[in-house]
Structure 1
């Protein structure tokens, strides 16, 4: 395995403004203490933020990339999560400093597309909003947004996306908790559009639905971003062994940890970015064993010989990786 020390270059950014974007959703504006420009980012980028309780969490940037003096993250308070969003909501105050990584992009906007179809579920609007804001008054191609939420009260940036100027491009749909009132995405995805790229961000159920409905599209036109990092437990999970073929090192991957996390604990790190199985950066050759695939990237014909080590696990007792 080519060993890399896992480090995230962090900047001490100060919270200069906090405001509610919707019920249970809050925006945090981060700047350098001296007000100087921040490292540039592209639409769809995310940063890793060390929240007040010490956890490191990934959040998409939702401001216009041309706004170089601040990073804006918008966070939903998740009472069933691992505590990162709760810490931000309950403990962060204006003036506090949050160590923040240089932006990375696992959800890049294709700049030569003939069209864009954005599908956002809930807080999944954040990276897509950055894309839309980057278009300015002269978009590079026609675009449409389907924005699915529970209710108007829980819809972030509703006023901005409901202006008369965007009426023809934006469809905001509220379910009000009624499954019978869910939006029919097939109406938007039934006919593949040459050169049009689909960008979907939101809950896993929404992304699975979009993936299932775009099987007749070119896979190169479909892009996903997830806020759920790897390691979520499932009832069927069990420990398994990973063997690194090049170094002959063996590690046990316990329930609740990913292959990538275990590699990091032992001083190494394969390339990674999204850590949610949506970008493909951690694609690794699988030499032996049967994987339990949990990504949104691999095609059926690739699954026997490749694995995304940021989310996927093993059905067999052992996996042998080309690392």
Structure 2
């Protein structure tokens, strides 16, 4: 189970329209746990919400964690709180860094695709790739330049390393959208591709890279599929010795919590990986945005916040 880290908000910056940057340090001034490019932390907010935010600063830095938050009009409360209530000096609890969007450091060339606030994990990747002396290109999409965060930093990272950054501001006069299909066709066989952004971009990216799925990596901010809530199966918790019924309208996580069994959880949408649980018997109905097709077929684990069962009986290592 994740250990909570007390973090103080050292500084808040306005960095783009509707986007704030938060510098977070340990309340005791000690070094923070190291993190890898693509990692995120889960921030526990005082309004009883937990939200996952990508770490965007250079991996290897231990004096601070940096996250950026877009004040989404569709927010369920997380981004509104971060923008409207959080103040410099406030203390938050956060998880240890977790990484579901790992950078392949041996590929030699990386193609990065960002949409809006999806630039955050890719910024950490650019820092890391520069430190490794590897080649990369970035394709950064936003409505306008004013909506795009870290443009100057991206340009510096590209210029100082001899790499390339391309910008697409499709709501500006003469602006054009990125042709993801053409990009997918153009990459060579040694290139790994990474995409983080809104749902429409991720869907288009996955379609454009279907021919090289093993080299194409995505990170979702929101649920990829509707949760499996059909119910109608028996749930056995092997370590707890419980046999439970899962009715329609309830998630496995709901039933486990109601039975008094503690399981780490955060997003409840299958995008953070906190509730991943080992499967001992039965067949899962996978609805998460994290497991690969091969991992789903292997049926070794599942995200119990959103996934259900395709079998009448499901046995979990809980």
1:133 aligns with 2:124: no
Q: 2: CA distance between counterparts of 1:43 and 1:229?
A: 22
1:208 aligns with 2:222: no
Contact kept, 8 Å, 1:295 with 1:308, in 2: the verdict is no
Task: Report matched runs for 1:23-172 at 5 Å.
Answer: 23-136=17-130, 138-163=131-156, 165=159, 169-172=164-167
List per-residue Cα deviations over 1:179-223 (Å, max 9, x = no partner): x94321122111452232111111222111111111111x33121
Of residues 177, 180, 189 in structure 2, which corresponds to 1:185?
180
Gaps of 5+ in 1: 1-6
The alignment covers a number of residue pairs equal to: 309
SS at match of 2:211: coil
What TM-score do the two structures reach when normalised by structure 1? 0.80
Hey, which of these two has a bigger chunk of helix by percent?
Answer: 2
List per-residue Cα deviations over 1:272-306 (Å, max 9, x = no partner): 99963587993765966783745364439956967
Q: 2: CA distance between counterparts of 1:121 and 1:288?
A: 38
For the structure 1 residues 168 and 104, does the alpha-carbon distance in structure 2 shift closer, same or farther, using more than 3 Å as the test? closer
For the structure 1 residues 126 and 30, does the alpha-carbon distance in structure 2 shift closer, same or farther, using more than 3 Å as the test? same
Of residues 175, 190, 195 in structure 2, which corresponds to 1:195?
190
For the structure 1 residues 298 and 44, does the alpha-carbon distance in structure 2 shift closer, same or farther, using more than 3 Å as the test? closer
Task: Report matched runs for 1:220-299 at 5 Å.
Answer: 220-228=214-222, 239-245=230-236, 249-252=243-246, 255=249, 258-260=251-253, 262-266=255-259, 267-269=261-263, 276-277=270-271, 282=276, 291=285, 293=287, 295=289, 297-299=291-293
Higher RCO structure (Cα 8 Å, ≥6 apart) = 1
Gaps of 5+ in 2: none
Q: 2: CA distance between counterparts of 1:17 and 1:311?
A: 34
Contact kept, 8 Å, 1:115 with 1:197, in 2: the verdict is yes
What TM-score do the two structures reach when normalised by structure 2? 0.81
Q: 2: CA distance between counterparts of 1:107 and 1:140?
A: 20
